Each structure stands twice: as C-alpha cells, then as structure tokens.
Structure 1
C-alpha cells in the first residue's frame, strides 16, 4: 500500500503547445498506468485515459494526430518544431522562439573559447533571458526543456554567437563551444589574428601577447617553479584593452596511501595513492595580476585585501570594462569579500562579510550578478538568519536588505531582472510549522511584495510550467502522503488539486506511521525536531531498546521531512528497536546561533539536545527503554557515534562507528577547516576521539574499509591504536575492498545487527539479516 501511494502521487507534467494543457501518468498497482489530462486554463482534470484514448483526445485538442509510442517522460515528440527524430541537440542557423516542450533535460556547455561566453535562453516570445557566464575552460550546467533554444556568445561581442536547441534526452557529454564554432558554420580558424586585439597565451610559464600584425611580446616572464600563471584563468576586458591573469602558488602535494589487501586480479596486495589535502595543509594561493595590453605592461596592484586566501572565485569584468571583480574567501573562513580591481590598479572592497565563528561558504554562498545595472543579490547571515541583500557594485554599497525575519532563504530558484523579482526556497516561513519545511516564495528586489506561493502543512517541492505561468506544488510530511496542487505561478492561488493525499487509505490499512516529536533543546527554548519509528509488530506493553541513527555534519540537516517508506529505518525498527532520528544544535538551516554551536566543537554533535529529546520522548512513551540506548553512524556520523561513548557513555550503551573521521586533522581540508577553523589548534585535539580514547565507556564497534578514499582509513586505525593503549575492549570489522560507508553493505549490516542484538537485546545467538 505504501509503495502504491508514493508512486501514484508523482506528477511529472508533459506540457502541450500553448502552455495551458499538460498530461501526466500515474502508476497503478501491478504494472498498470493511468494517464491524466489537465487544462490549467479551464481548471479541469480528466483521468482514466489509456494510450489510444489519450492520443485521440490530444489530436482533438491539437488539431493533428500525435503518435504516442510511449507514455514515459521524455518520449513525446509533438512539442519540438525542430528535427525531433534526432535525440541529440543541434545547432541552428536562425534564432527562433523556444517551443513549449514535454520534458525537462539537463545540458552542459564547455567553454573552449579564448574568452568568457554568455549563456542566454530564448524564451517563448523570442526574447533572450540571461542565464549566466561560463569562464574559459569551465563547464556550465543548465536545466531546460527539450527543444528549447539557447544562445551562446562571446561576452563582449554578441555578434560572435551560436544557437543551440536542447536535446530530447539528457546528453551527459558537454557541448563544446570554441572560437571556430562562434566564427561561422565552416569552423575555419583564420591563419592569423585579425580580431584587431591581442591574444593572450601562456607557454612554459611565460605570458605572451600576440598582436594583429603577428608581433609577439612577453607580458610576464616567470622562471619560478612555485609562482605560476594559470592558462585557464585569463580574463580579458570587454574592450580587450586589459587582461587579468591569475598567478598561483601550487597546493601542497600530499598523498593518501591506501593498501588494497585483496585485489581481484592478483594475489599480492596493491598500493593506491591519491592526492588528498587535510586540515592545515598548504592550499593553492591565487593572485590576480592586471595587464595593460595596449601598453604591453603589468599594472601594479596591492594584494593587502586578499592575502592568505583559502580560495578565490572569479566574478568577471563589469560591462563597461572598467573593473575586474572576484570573491576572496580568507583561510579560516571568517572573512569573505567581493573585490574590484580597476584598470588603473585601484583595489577596493565591494561587499564584505566578517564573523567571529565561520562564514558558511560551502552551502550559503548564494549570489546573482545583474550585469546591466551592476548590482548583485547576495546571501548573508549577518543578522542571524540567512537572507538576501542587494548591493550596488558601482558604489560598493548596500542598497537594501531584500528578505528579513526569523526564517531563512535556503536557495534562490529564479531571478527576473526585468521585473526585479526573486523566487526562492524559504524555511521556517510559516509560524507553527516545522522550521525545516520548504516553501516557495517571491519578493521584489526592494524587499516589498513578499508572497508565499505554496500552501500546506508540510515540506514542498515544485515544478514550473515552461513559461512560469503555472506551478505544480507537491507537499507532504513523514506521516502524511503527498498532495499535489496546480497553482497560479504569479499569485500562488490554487487552481485545482491534481492528487489528493491518501492518508485515509493508509490509516485504513493500519499503517505504522513515523511519529513526529519536538521538544526544547539544551537551552530550554529552541525547539529540536525529530521522528520516532516503531516496529511493525509494535506492542505498547513491551519495552524496546532505542537505536539512534546519527549524522551531525554541520553542512546540512538530516531528519526526514517528506513522505517516504523509509525502508532502511523500518528494517532496523522491525528487528525490535524504536529508531529515532533528530537534528540537534550545530547542524544547518536554522539560525546562525543554532549553527555556530558546531564551531571548533564538532564532538558536541548536538548531544545535549539529543539526550534531552530522547529522555522527554520516553517520559510519555513507557515502551522506550532508556536503559538500552544505542547509536550508529557513518562518516561524520561514525565520528559522532564514537564520541557518544567517549563523552556520554553514561547514556549510550552501544555504538557502531562506520568509516568515521575520528580525528579532524586526518580528514579532508574543506570540511574540517570550514567548521573547525584554521590554523589547526587545540580544538582539533579536544574534538579527537583518538586523543580522548581513554574516556570510552560502553560497547563500541569500529567498521572500516581498506579502500576508503573519502575518509582516511588510518583515522579508524589510529582510534583503535589509542583504545588498545588505554586497555579498552571493543570490536573491529575490517572489510577488504570496502569503500566509504562499507558498513551499509550486506555483510556490514549483518554484523551490526548482531552487535546491537547482543548488547541492547541481550541475545547471544548470532543473527543474520
């Protein structure tokens, strides 16, 4: 019943020309299908179509027969006036309006030109819609509809362009855009430089400028092996009078060595070495340098505002070519700046972020550049919540805060530069609802006109019609199957229900729903949200051991919010446990203060909130046994599972730690320096399971694979070594050939089931899954 409800609630629309009518297919029990035809303009929904009857109805609506060879997404052929027999995309000679299309596809363009290219979508009125800029050597990824038209042109010269019609099916290969393609159909490269401007190249570390008359000159000579020029980071001004070229010092060449103990193709073990930077290692250091191409010389610039970078991100030249811009992320992630370098060599700050903890660059660096008005929409947590701000880049000043309130912007979905409106995914926008539930909202650039377009007490996902006039809104909760509603794309007003929630049918089938539970955390105020999953044969008269599945990585939140069968959690519950999942302080997508708990404090993992939550849930649920609490986790969750017995061994009695990073100095640089800071200090030692191994209480199972290239397997071995020296008893499972998360394989799951059965259910007999 559960699988039927989930599958038959999915609405994948196939829009017909005109943009008011679409059809979708429902999966019925067994192998049956039902096709539904929707007229958004008339607010009608007709179901029960078989393949032939749907084709007849479509012929009546469209005035011509459509061959419906398949009812799966991506197979409809009536919407593309181009060569529909060709499943690949194609280049066009003439610019035409994008047709109304049947299915979404993803495309990617690889820029092999000598300068950045601008990407524009040609809308249904044959008007270009700016979608981004792809720098030299980079790939741009876009979501579109089959047959939609895209214009790719040199950023500073729209006449050098090519037109591309998206394919009917996703093409995983990147579409290569090079100078030959942009200069004409014959693709012939001219034998000499007749662009009227110099061409920049890097040969053997030396920067060369080649001029119209064939003359070549060295712009910068470099004999150093540590100060190199990057041939993929050459940014030429729109008038081609200036160029910024990035010089860099390479990152530390640090290898992680893995020993494959049991290779399949030979008897003897093999050694595999991979490049792997860890916290504290030397990163690549970039330094943009400015050149005057007409004067054939470098213009000196001061790097005081962007020394000690963790990374720089190109923004590009402004439209007038007066200033080059980039983002500076300082090592330690406490300062973030948008920096401008004028053609005169002046360096200034345009946007600046500063914090005493960390700037969440890895999940919240959300920006949208508006080239024509030299503005940028910028995400920041400066007021305690992740919100949008509008900056004037000409003056380098804040114009206004766009969104505000005790809720946050999770992602920007769409920006209309003409109407100056933003569509975004927001969390915590509806008072009284779970603050993690996502809503779609719209707001004007000046902060006025905030409108929530979705409705329903649950988390939302949505699909737009090709012209954005209509919105298909799907919402659900873990204890409520999806409801799907067609809405007006501008106002959010409900047009009609496409699929009703089938909660009543599940209730009639005695469905064992996950239970949502919330209670204040350690501060007595901030609500902590989680779920409880009981066994299928649950008996309220019994007492069940509690098993928590933990992942507390600060990059996200992890308690499920949308409806699903959650078979993995249920599988563990059906072995005789009450399974709990929750997000404590230190995880993401709440307030800045909520998130900051993790700073230099990874071992906290929200445990004060978790333990309080479990105790308060059990206070009104006598079938939850607080004397038998276990915990399991993978990766960062493996680190937390180990920490549970080190710092809270009086509460947790057994822990299975799979592929854990047990010392943050042993793990990947970006993740650990983002949350633990730089330089590496005593906080890394304090958070280390290895350093604190002597504090271990309870029953621990360590799981590791010898081919884990995500978290160094030595992290687990060093933890084991420290436990040995401390005289601690524990179990260890080494899986030959195992990669990251190998404990989730069949054998790993079997061994964990046996481990928890022995230590939480007090059953000695080995149990297989």
Structure 2
C-alpha cells in the first residue's frame, strides 16, 4: 500500500543518495595535458629486464645502487635476490647493457653507449669473469660495435670502423678480418641504413657453433646515392651525409662470407648470379660447416633459403617461396633449426594466413603444424625435448593476442591465456615458466609468473597505483565497433566518447589513423601516451575514433595485400568510409570531422583531407611521407614495385598531386633531422600547396628525428596540436 508518510522520507533519502553519487562523480579529476605530458601521471609500471638464466628458476636483472649499476640473480618464484653477479661500483664501470655467455661464467658489459640510428650503436666493452670479478677492456677502451663472445668463450668478435675483427681473450691480441671498411662505402659485419630500418637488423655476423668460423655480410654501398641533412645549432650548420637508397635507386651490393680463424682465410658464399638482391639473414644450421641464408629478389616476391658449405662457398637452394605480390619475410625471425639435423620450423602465409610449418633438413615440407583463418604472430619457442611449440596467435580475435601450445605433430593445441585481451610472454629457456604481460583496452598491464601449463603462480606487477588514479579520474573507455564499406568489407574500429556523453548532443570527431601494411591500431590492449591525449580531448568535448583500413594486419594475406601496387587508394577510401559512418551517427556533428596521424598515418591524414574534402574539416600530419618516390627501396618497393615499373602507383596517390583538392584546415609537422621520412617530404608538399594557393599551417622541429622528442619537445608538440584542434575543429 502507498503511504505518503513513509514514501516522502524514502524519496528524500534517495535524492540525497543520488546527489552524493553525483558529487562523487563531479569530484573525479579531469585529465589535463600536464598530467599526460609533463607529470607522466598515467605511466604504467612493468617488469623489465627479465633475462632468463639456464635454470628457469632464475633470471638476471639490471638495477642501480648508489648511482652504479648492478646485475643481480633473482629467484623468479620468491622474487628475492640470490646474489650479485656484476657490481658496477667494484668494477668501476657505469655500464648500461650486459649479456652473459651460455655457461653464465662470463659477461660482456657496455658503457658510454653512442646511438647511431634506430638499432645501431657503438660503445666501450669489457669482458668480466664472473668467478674472479676481473675485467678486460676491449680495444683499449675505444668504441666498437656488437661485441659477441665466441661459443667457446675464448674470443670476442666485433665491428670497428666498418671492419670486422676478433680478439683472443687469453693474449688480448686482436686480428682484423677485413681491411676495406670505409665510411659511406664498405661495411663488414654491420647493416647499412636501409637493412637496419626495414629488415630489423644491425649486427650482421655470427659465430659458428664451434667458435672456429665467423660468417658475416658485406655491404658495398659506394654507389648508393647520398642523402644530406643539415644539423643546426652552430654558426655554420653542419652537413650530415649518409647513404640512403630511395625507391628505384641503387642498393648496396651485398655478399656473404665466412672467415676461418685457424686458416685465416675468407670464403665467399655463392648466392647466385643475380646481384640486385637482398641477403637479410644468416643462420648456422647447427652444423659447423653449413651456413644457411635467405635471399630475396629486388621485388621481394621470391624468397630462397640456401645451404652453403662454409669452407668452399658452394651452395644450393633448399626451399623457394613465391607470391604474386610479395613474400612476407618474418622479421620476428620465426625460422628455427632443430637439433640433430631434424630439420627446421618456420612460418609462412602461403595458405592465406601465417602459420607454422615443419621441414626436414633438405627443405621438404613434413607438415603444416597450425591452420585456420587466423594468424600466428610469433613463435615463442620450440621445446624439442618434449616436442612442443609455444606461439602467439589471433585465433580468438584479430584484435587480441593469446598464447597457445601445440605438439610438433600438429596435435594437442591448447590455449594457455584464456582471459580476453592482449598477451605478451617471456618464456624461460627450459620452458618451465613464462612471464605473462596482459592488458585490455580498459585494464592496464598485469604481469604474472606462470607455469608452462598456464597456471598462474604469482602476480609480479598489478599497476594498482595506476588503477587507483584511474578510479579517481574521469576516464572514458573505448567502445569497439565494426561496419561495412560500400564493397561489403567489414572494418574494425573503436570510439572514445566523453565521460559525460549526452546522446542528444552533437559532438565533433577526431579520427586517429596509421593504416600501413600489416599494422594495427584497433586492438583490445592498454594504450600509451596518445590514448591518454585522446582521453584528454574527450574532456574538451570531442569524440575520438579509429578505423583499421584494408591493408592492416591480423586478418590474413588477402586483406593485407589488397593494397599492393597502389598504396593509399583503398586505405583512403576506407578512412573516408569510416568518417561517413561516424558522421551518420545521431550524436556526431557531420560538419566537424577531423583526422590525424604520424608517419604512414600522416600520409593517410593528408590524403584523407584532400580526397575526402567533403567529409573532413581538418587534418594533422606529423612526419608524413608525401611521395613514395622519396622513401627507401626495401619498404616501398615491397608494396609498390619500383617507380620505373609502376609510376602510377607512386604518383596517383601522392598527397603532392592532390593539393588542389584541399578545402579544410591542415597542419603539417616535421623534424628537420628525420633520417627516416626526410624533411624533404614536407618541403615539397609545402611548395605544392603554395603553388595551388592553399592556406595551411606548418611547423618544423630543428634537428629532431622521426620520433620528434627530447627535452620539452613532446609537450610542445601535443600542446600545439591541441590548440589547432580547438581552433579548427
């Protein structure tokens, strides 16, 4: 029965309670730019530096004590330090990197590291005897690169001044293997610029299993055209000149050699008659006289695996894979030679999705181990003793990553990470344990120690401090969606709405894009700084959205390769379609849709604004490619062939050739010291925009590279982009 006498107090109490909830909601802290870029308030913690020891119960970790570095032996199950293996204070060396030999009796430590490009560096190296604590400096303390102990622990090989050498640790005598190394001409044992950037390598030599031979790659870049960057800051700017092969231009002539330490002789491996090729990987097969290497033709649509006799150089092709587009060379190095001449394991996308294959020692396929309409993204390890392979795949969803184990015979596949989201793993060498790094779009990283069965043993990091901050912050969440384009293709995306979202209002939308071949932005994983910037923008009344266009990864070969020979065409169509889909939503202001991106994303945002001038009101392009004629051979020709063979593919979708279509607001940003996507891209686009009588905004960062960072740079960059968005969108 309804009683006014009791209903009124209940109603007032309810209103008071709701008011309390409202007050609590209002008390939640708003994200600020300072939170994200100055205070790093939302930085998540991780567990880094886990370098597994031969006994899977232990790992080494680099720490600091009193300003000096220490390498400690940690018990993974207890989390306790067992002993100090390297003490920088006692060694009187402030080292930054270290590596142990297989037997864990010696260490190589690096100090005074000088970075060169993305992966290359040189440093002062010491060899330390862990039992005695004695240290031995290499090359009298001169800087060298990629110092590597021999398997028998008696020698160290390294690169200095583009030449390969080795030092006998018992006598400290150094033998120079090559003598023709010269800056911007000949490199022995280290990669040239384009191999380093596009084949993910810097070191280009390897010891034989018995430590009696060294295989190395030689780069003759004397005929590769030079690129000149000016370095600002002095009374007279300095020229920095390096070899950079732009699409269609001359590459380094590459060759593979094996040096025999006992005979002091070098043999050249036969890689065939064709010289305009790539030789991106060398592997010792486990046999002391058999070297394996990969060869790609210039167009990268044929991949050959060679076996070579290390003494004579004679070789044979044992496996060939071809494609109508390009052969996906796996940069995760998913090629592993099994012990006792039992063949090798590799990945290939030849059946339409990347999967694991087992071949015998002669290259004959024994079986396809995994199959299905999903991708193997990483081979974590092969446990030969127990006949198991651990791998990461997209089987549950292209937007997630999970760890599986499968028997070598292709049976018994088991999911080891059932929780939704994205997983990375670091597995012990004896396959007893793995450290799992797990996150979702709404939950930051949780790091756990697990048995190889998947059973969780302990939490190593839960980011509880960050979770507490997020609980007290007005933080929006990602909503995943998909939609169909005109041709029926389903695309994945996410949308971030303001915390106080009101469906009756209309909001401007900023789209974020990368979109390059094989990439992914739409994943169920915790984001980084850019995600928090996007979250900040929602507090200013914007919706942020992202769409993974055709050509992106994890959805099979056909979805990825559809952009072949015409980069920019389908990707731009899909971003425009995504913008139209968003504009059709009742809570979106269709007249205020913008887009931004970096690198390939800057290329995409530029094209989108120009070709989608009826959809996009504003765009920001950071460090964009503006014509693929200016980018490097390996990356560009893989997807477009050469400019000589496919000029339309280069010119039809170059932003420089579409400036006349631009109607909206455009901000172009570039670093003058970008060795990757050269500042030249921005200069020529600016010139074209001026010629087309288009008004726009631009900004350059002196001497900053492709990442545009250092000091106050990141804060300045995002502050400027925020201001542009507020003014123009």
TM-score, structure 1 as length reference: 0.67
Q: Counterparts of 1:289 and 1:465 in 2: how far apart (Å)?
A: 33
Q: How does 1:108-127 map to 2 (within 5 A)?
A: 108=99, 120=102
Q: How does 1:60-139 map to 2 (within 5 A)?
A: 86=87, 107-108=98-99, 120=102
Q: Counterparts of 1:183 and 1:19 in 2: how far apart (Å)?
A: 27
Residue 517 of structure 1 pairs with residue 480 of structure 2: yes
- What is the SS of the residue equivalent to 1:423? strand
Alignment RMSD? 5.1
Residue 610 of structure 1 pairs with residue 575 of structure 2: yes
Q: What is the match of residue 324 of structure 2? A: 356
Is the CA contact (8 Å cut-off) linking 1:369 and 1:375 kept in structure 2?
yes
- What is the SS of the residue equivalent to 2:694? coil
Q: What is the match of residue 5 of structure 2? A: none
Q: What is the match of residue 677 of structure 1? A: 641
- What is the SS of the residue equivalent to 1:556? coil
Q: What is the match of residue 94 of structure 1? A: none
Q: Counterparts of 1:595 and 1:643 in 2: how far apart (Å)?
A: 19
Q: What is the match of residue 686 of structure 1? A: 652
Post-superposition offset of 1:578: 0.7
Residue 334 of structure 1 pairs with residue 298 of structure 2: no
Post-superposition offset of 1:164: 5.9
Post-superposition offset of 1:439: 0.5
Q: Per-residue displacement from partner, 1:235-254 (whole Å, max 9, x unpaired)?
A: 89889999988676435343
- What is the SS of the residue equivalent to 1:606? helix
Q: What is the match of residue 33 of structure 1? A: none
Post-superposition offset of 1:284: 1.5
Q: Residues 402, 8 of structure 1: CA spacing in aligned structure 2 closer, same or farther, 3 A cutoff?
A: same
Q: Counterparts of 1:605 and 1:567 in 2: how far apart (Å)?
A: 29
Worse-superposed segment, 747-756 or 707-716: 747-756
Q: Per-residue displacement from partner, 1:122-162 (whole Å, max 9, x unpaired)?
A: 7xxx9xxxxxxxxxxxxxx9xxxxxxxxxx9xxxxxxxxx9
Worse-superposed segment, 246-255 or 531-540: 246-255
Equivalent position to 1:576, from 537, 541, 550: 541
Is the CA contact (8 Å cut-off) linking 2:53 and 2:429 kept in structure 1?
no
Q: What is the match of residue 615 of structure 2? A: 651
Specify every segment of 5 or more residues in structure 1 that has no aligned partner in the other structure, as ranges.
23-67, 91-104, 110-118, 127-140, 142-151, 153-161, 193-198, 206-224, 761-769
Q: What is the match of residue 242 of structure 2? A: 274
Post-superposition offset of 1:291: 10
Residue 400 of structure 1 pairs with residue 401 of structure 2: no
Q: What is the match of residue 749 of structure 1? A: 718
Residue 461 of structure 1 pairs with residue 424 of structure 2: yes
Is the CA contact (8 Å cut-off) linking 1:363 and 1:555 kept in structure 2?
no
Q: Counterparts of 1:201 and 1:622 in 2: how far apart (Å)?
A: 70
Equivalent position to 2:387, from 412, 420, 424: 420
Q: How does 1:174-573 map to 2 (within 5 A)?
A: 177=149, 182=154, 187-189=169-171, 201-203=177-179, 230=188, 249-260=220-231, 263=233, 265-266=234-235, 268-288=236-256, 303-304=271-272, 307-316=275-284, 319=287, 321=289, 323-342=290-309, 347-361=315-329, 363=331, 365-393=333-361, 395-427=362-394, 429-430=395-396, 434-462=397-425, 464=427, 468-480=431-443, 487-490=450-453, 492-493=454-455, 511-522=474-485, 526-564=489-527, 566-573=531-538
Q: Per-residue displacement from partner, 1:341-386 (whole Å, max 9, x unpaired)?
A: 3477754221222111122326455211224225121111101111
Q: Residues 616, 669 of structure 1: CA spacing in aligned structure 2 closer, same or farther, 3 A cutoff?
A: same
Is the CA contact (8 Å cut-off) linking 2:629 and 2:643 kept in structure 1?
no
Worse-superposed segment, 493-502 or 546-555: 493-502
Equivalent position to 2:586, from 622, 626, 630: 622
Post-superposition offset of 1:754: 3.5
Q: What is the match of residue 716 of structure 1? A: 682
The aligned length equals 617
Q: Counterparts of 1:478 and 1:639 in 2: how far apart (Å)?
A: 26
- What is the SS of the residue equivalent to 2:102? strand
Q: Counterparts of 1:698 and 1:597 in 2: how far apart (Å)?
A: 29
Q: What is the match of residue 9 of structure 2? A: none
Q: Residues 280, 699 of structure 1: CA spacing in aligned structure 2 closer, same or farther, 3 A cutoff?
A: same
Post-superposition offset of 1:751: 3.7
- What is the SS of the residue equivalent to 1:425? strand
Worse-superposed segment, 405-414 or 299-308: 299-308
Q: Per-residue displacement from partner, 1:607-659 (whole Å, max 9, x unpaired)?
A: 3333333444454x422222211111222221111111222222112112122
Q: Counterparts of 2:261 and 2:73 in 1: how far apart (Å)?
A: 52
Q: Counterparts of 2:184 and 2:533 in 1: how far apart (Å)?
A: 50
Q: Residues 446, 537 of structure 1: CA spacing in aligned structure 2 closer, same or farther, 3 A cutoff?
A: same
Q: What is the match of residue 600 of structure 1? A: 565
Q: Residues 318, 725 of structure 1: CA spacing in aligned structure 2 closer, same or farther, 3 A cutoff?
A: same
Is the CA contact (8 Å cut-off) linking 2:151 and 2:207 kept in structure 1?
no
Q: What is the match of residue 198 of structure 2? A: none
Q: Residues 632, 300 of structure 1: CA spacing in aligned structure 2 closer, same or farther, 3 A cutoff?
A: closer
Q: Counterparts of 1:641 and 1:756 in 2: how far apart (Å)?
A: 14
Is the CA contact (8 Å cut-off) linking 1:573 and 1:579 kept in structure 2?
yes
- What is the SS of the residue equivalent to 2:351? coil
TM-score, structure 2 as length reference: 0.70
Q: Residues 526, 89 of structure 1: CA spacing in aligned structure 2 closer, same or farther, 3 A cutoff?
A: farther
Q: Counterparts of 1:571 and 1:627 in 2: how far apart (Å)?
A: 22
Q: What is the match of residue 701 of structure 1? A: 667
Specify every segment of 5 or more residues in structure 2 that has no aligned partner in the other structure, as ranges.
1-27, 30-34, 60-64, 106-118, 120-126, 138-143, 157-166, 191-203
Is the CA contact (8 Å cut-off) linking 2:73 and 2:81 kept in structure 1?
no
Q: Counterparts of 2:467 and 2:429 in 1: how far apart (Å)?
A: 34
Post-superposition offset of 1:398: 1.1
- What is the SS of the residue equivalent to 1:341? strand
Is the CA contact (8 Å cut-off) linking 1:618 and 1:625 kept in structure 2?
yes
Q: Residues 651, 304 of structure 1: CA spacing in aligned structure 2 closer, same or farther, 3 A cutoff?
A: same
Post-superposition offset of 1:84: 5.0
Post-superposition offset of 1:204: 5.9
Q: What is the match of residue 96 of structure 1? A: none
- What is the SS of the residue equivalent to 1:361? coil
Post-superposition offset of 1:454: 0.6
Post-superposition offset of 1:545: 0.9
Q: Residues 165, 689 of structure 1: CA spacing in aligned structure 2 closer, same or farther, 3 A cutoff?
A: farther
Q: Counterparts of 1:289 and 1:463 in 2: how far apart (Å)?
A: 33
Post-superposition offset of 1:736: 4.1
- What is the SS of the residue equivalent to 1:258? strand
Q: Residues 293, 667 of structure 1: CA spacing in aligned structure 2 closer, same or farther, 3 A cutoff?
A: closer
Is the CA contact (8 Å cut-off) linking 1:9 and 1:483 kept in structure 2?
no
Is the CA contact (8 Å cut-off) linking 1:364 and 1:379 kept in structure 2?
no
Equivalent position to 1:639, from 592, 595, 603: 603
